[in-house]
Amino acid sequence: MSVTESKTEIFDMSNSEALDTSKGKNSVVGVFERYVQPCLAELLGSSLFIFAGCASVIGNVGVSGSVQPALAHGLALGIAIAIFGEISGGHFNPAVSVSVYLVGGLELVLLAPYIIAQICGGMIGAGLAKLIFPEETFSTAAGAAFNAVNTTGSVGAATVAEMIMTFILTLVVCMGAINERTRVPFVPFCIGLTVTANILAGGSVSGACMNPARAFGPAVAANHWTYHWVYWVGPLSGALLTVTFVRLLMGDQKRRVILK
């Protein structure tokens, strides 16, 4: 991957041989840069993004509205992608990794390690947020774990909301960063804005998680598991919906499986 090409191929790690050094892909350096370093980037990026997201929710206790969490999540994600995108693709989200893999933007050997790194990063980020806030404030916010279903009372609506919002997010990722015909160089900005818009639009319905790792970390830190499954089923369903659209309808000839 040349320097020029890499700037428009954030998220696409399907051709990781391009990351190999002059010492060869089987050298220690080649293996580190191809497999180890991307997983470390996912771990660190997920930790920083989820820490900022959790801290924004906990710090928003007693303040009405979703503006603070929306801006914090969107800005933190955009920055993390800009910093680590050239190393790992900047996924920081199991739903994103699944959709990127299924549209041909990630090697299978990296899928499980990415998801594990993201989940571990979620626990680290949530743990750091718990560390800096008083116990009372942390408990009042349920540790930034998602409890919107307790308020709205509609599990079905929350699950559908998560599916739709994750569909929008992963569609922006796959069309803006993976699909060659529609790639844009400012995709980190687009993805951050998408997360911000989704939280502002659907935060009151489901909390607008769109990320199983973002849900899992605070759930562990606060031991809050009520309707936790919603934040796996909804986002992963949205990711699969994106794959269907890209592979059947919206992808270029390389991504489509029909009418090639």
Q: Predicted confidence band at 3 (pLDDT cuts at 50, 70, 90)? A: very low
Distance between CA 127 and CA 209 in Å, rounded? 18
- Which fold is adopted by the domain 3-250? Glycerol uptake facilitator protein (1.20.1080)
Cα atoms found within 13 Å of the Cα of residue 190, Cβ hemisphere only: 17
Number of H-type helices and E-type strands within the chain: 12, 0
Where along the chain do its domains lie?
3-250
Classify 209 in phi/psi space as left (phi over 0), alpha (psi -120 to 50) or beta: alpha
pLDDT tens by residue, 234-245: 999 999 999 999
Q: Predicted confidence band at 10 (pLDDT cuts at 50, 70, 90)? A: low
Please check the confidence at residue 16 and state whether its pLDDT lies above 70. no
Please check the confidence at residue 9 and state whether its pLDDT lies above 90. no
Query: Which residues does 40 contact at the CB level (< 8 Å), separation at least 6?
Result: 117
- How confident is the model at residue 7, as a pLDDT? 45
Distance between CA 144 and CA 149 in Å, rounded? 14
> What percent of the chain is modeled with pLDDT above 70?
90
- How confident is the model at residue 121, as a pLDDT? 98
- How confident is the model at residue 160, as a pLDDT? 97
Q: Is 61 exposed, middle or buried (0-12, 13-18, 19+ CB in 10 A)?
A: middle
- How confident is the model at residue 6, as a pLDDT? 42
Query: Which residues does 153 contact at the CB level (< 8 Å), separation at least 6?
Result: none
pLDDT tens by residue, 148-207: 887 666 899 999 999 999 999 999 999 999 999 999 999 999 999 999 999 999 999 999
pLDDT tens by residue, 87-110: 999 999 999 999 999 999 999 999
